[in-house]
Chains A and B, each alone.
Chain A
Amino acid sequence: MPDAAFDPRAVPGADAHAAALHSPALKHHFDDLGQQKEAATLGMWLFLATEVLFFGGLFAAYLLYRVWYPDVFGEASRSLDITLGSVNTLVLIGSSLTMALAVHAAATGQRRTLMIFIALTMLLGAVFLGIKGVEYYDKIVHHHVPGPSFHFEGPTPERAQLFFSLYFAMTGLHAFHMVIGLGLMTVILLMAWRGRFSATWYTPVEMSGLYWHFVDIIWIFLFPLLYLVDRHS
């Protein structure tokens, strides 16, 4: 259970509290670091709420068309490579772990460990995008990319094209967010390298951590919705 009477202004450790009041990172319009951290966290979670709704539009389209065309969605989903999909999910969960450990390292002031874990997270992110690239290439080869060259062995090919439109829209948007995450992480790596973070102020690391975990959660939903449709028949 979270601390009973949570006071957003509470900062761990009395001495750290005193130091925090005059820490260079305290912005002039905030009273103390606790208020500044609470503001940053609320701001990030609000931004993540907008991202939930941004992807939500595509989830609404997916939900409708899966209800309308369950069989076609099954066939088209079976044409996706499930091993690559599940491996990719594990890779992304791994990158979430390394990101969480990076935030932990920042919170305890271990600069070198922070940089290692950030680099690991970026590596796993790149691996994910690599595997995604392989899948996309495979789709191009099989002419499963919506457009004039689309071809799909199945009863109603044009509805399969609808599935692949959703597939490329959702995974494309997710991959785009991954690229932004990698960019974000490069900035964090630079700042960590220049020693900008300390145990009392590492908000950018935590915020990019929240962003990265969110992108992982989107994939946690995309994987069953796109890859695991009617795998049994």
Chain B
Amino acid sequence: MSHVIPRRIYYVIFAVLVVLTLVTTEVAFFDFGLMNPVIALTIAVVKATVVVLYFMHMRYSSRLTMVIGAAGIFWLGILLALTMSDYLARGAGTY
């Protein structure tokens, strides 16, 4: 929480984020078919995780904070997964 980490870690994280942004923008111009969105989202998840761990001090926070952060993502997963379970199965017959 109030754990103070050296400043250079922030600059390193900033550099990582900038590089990943440039990579994701560049990669989008190559045709990987269905893999394009997967790559774009993977890079976004990596960037988000890095921001959460270092900029938002999740690495130095209590385990409970991590559980709450994970809960938010998990509940979003429930919303997306079960909503799409209806729509993706419509090909096999609707009521």
Contact = CB atoms under 8 A, between A and B. Distances in A.
Interface string A55-83: 01101100110011000000000000010
A49 interface: yes
Q: How large is the interface on A (under 10, 10 to 19, 20 to 34, 35 or more residues)?
A: 35 or more
A93 to B, nearest CB: 5
Contacts of B62: 6, 8, 38, 41
Contacts of B14: 93-94, 96-97
A178 to B, nearest CB: 16
Given A2-B61, A42-B65, A49 B75 contact: yes
Main secondary structure of the interface of B (DSSP, over half): helix
Main secondary structure of the interface of A (DSSP, over half): helix
A56 B28 contact: no
Contacts, number: 149
A210 B52 CA distance: 9
A3 B83 CA distance: 40
Q: B31, B52, B72 — which one has the most chain A CB atoms within 10 A of its CB?
A: B72
Interface of A: 2-3, 6, 8, 11-12, 34, 37-38, 41-42, 45-46, 48-50, 52-53, 56-57, 59-60, 63-64, 67-68, 82, 86, 89-90, 93-94, 96-97, 99-101, 104, 107-108, 206, 209-210, 213-214, 216-217, 220-221, 223-225, 228-233
